[in-house]
Structure 1
């Protein structure tokens, strides 16, 4: 049986890599809710209109002949001139026209500043030209109409200061400032909301990518072990008369099953603990085993699959060639004629590249067990200056595909995602992969991996 690199080391290497924040949308900090205003816009319009109406009526009562008609008609006109302020947010120009008319007729002096403020605050951020055109209209409409006023500089200065600067220009500029500030704040809020949505999308994409990688790792590791278990278990019926062979096969199944369970347990542990705890565990030194326990451990204590594995730093399976050779040995013990050929000088490869090469061979052998049992399989490793090529070629199937005992399909069903996962894994380390049928009814998988690992 093969002794692949424990899954926890692969996942711990993921945990220490810088990744996008994998928090879910629900775990992201929520933006604090804005404070509720003292009153709604409609209530503010009602209050302002009421105050202007009261001031206009009060001023008309104090000056009953200030207006174009009788005192009571002037009071009525003063009251009516304040009512359009209720629509100052939606239609500021009509409100401004009524205010200018009231100013010309001397009905009310309080409506015009409010109308120009509304023009600057609600029309200015969208159309500056309209706002300044309204200011020009105010300059013309409120200009003195008597010859004596134009002949006196003092009267002109007083008119310009009071009627234009204080009643028109100052309210318009104040409205422009408030409107522009409101538009800037609205833009900032929109930008913050868009950034928050993008952050949530990035988090969800990171989670989806991590789930896909974990699913691919589980497929690569567990699928191979379980396939070997199924092949050996299916062979038990044919060798049941030989007690020694049956015992060896049962030990192989036991070892493969225990390893599959261990790798699943490690996978679930990583998912429960999260990357932070896994990084802390990876940094902790492994517990020391007593020398007596190492010395007195019997050979084959792992289920009859051979001597106990050496410490991680001493395992020959850490080399790519050694790990692939063990995969070939495990498949050979399951009845698959496999040969391994190495060209060039083997060298140490970066962990992602070595893991990708190992997974390519592992998935290819699993597919041979599923689709071409008994087929002659050749594994070739070619080391060059900057590339390691991994090629797996199998001939036509040596025996019919075994069927499940219940007749529900093949003994080793296929999900159809293995080669797709391999292509993605090879692409992530900067390599290329090709696969397809051969002319003699077999199948080939050829991957080219860079010896320097993925480019940053």
Structure 2
């Protein structure tokens, strides 16, 4: 079954249809089409065209082109004005308006045969008195709104009435084709062009979505490859180092050597734990917790970063709220990296400015906000920046499922804000 057409210029119905059950589906689409609004430009053009042709009909009547039958001198003008006003409903009921036009054209020709002068005004000032002046508008609108086989049948009937092949003449045939065939072809061209533009927009949007999906897939594959390399190569080498350090600790007779081997073994096992966390982040989600193979890794302290920046001449204020002990080490390390990169940018681009570091540890996420005022000294180190620090930081934050925002402040200065989920 062919897809029921929708109205030209209206939005596609957003109601989801589970099945096309014959008549019920057609009724649903018809109800949705009635509820849709047409573009303001189409309504404006239709009203302007109706006013134009109605004004021409009134002008012809005032210039002396009136009916002479028993219905009075204004009978023909009244019929034409009624049909002109009916065209205003062409966007809502195009088939009904077309039938009205056919009936009106048939009434004019029948009255000319049965009772000349009843509905056809004399004398004729211009054009064909048996042709309705608003016919081109109706033909163009009905072809655009309802581009169906039945629509073209109605257009063909109007063409026959306009050309009158039973009483042919060069003027009648050429004028009839001009007011029916040309508007129909123009309407068909506008429909085809509108559909082509819609298809091109849809294709461009689909291509853009596919490119984003391919980019995400490439990033996921690259992360999986890095995770595999870290697991197969780096973890293997570090494991060998830990085993060798343990062997030295057992076989060595010198106490200093045993202590050094013990420290090396502990550091190697800590590295294995950190590598395991990174492999889990790169390679995907893990179920359950893996047992630790070494002592806990040393905590990353933000105070050390703040003290180092203070020693370099930067006024940094640090405020930490919440319990940091309940936050995974990977999240703490990422927060440490956010503060480090923000302070590095302050050293380069805003020397002499004041910096506020606000870190909040919550049960669901860690929020980091680093804001600084404008520079008060010459940023001599600014040309050394490549701009890749924040991009790499954003990628690192995204790996653990967080978000990073960085940009200038309205009152001056710069701000870096990150939200790092704890659940990941």
TM-score relative to the length of structure 2: 0.42
Q: Which has the higher contact order (CA 8 A, sep 6+)?
A: 1
TM-score relative to the length of structure 1: 0.39
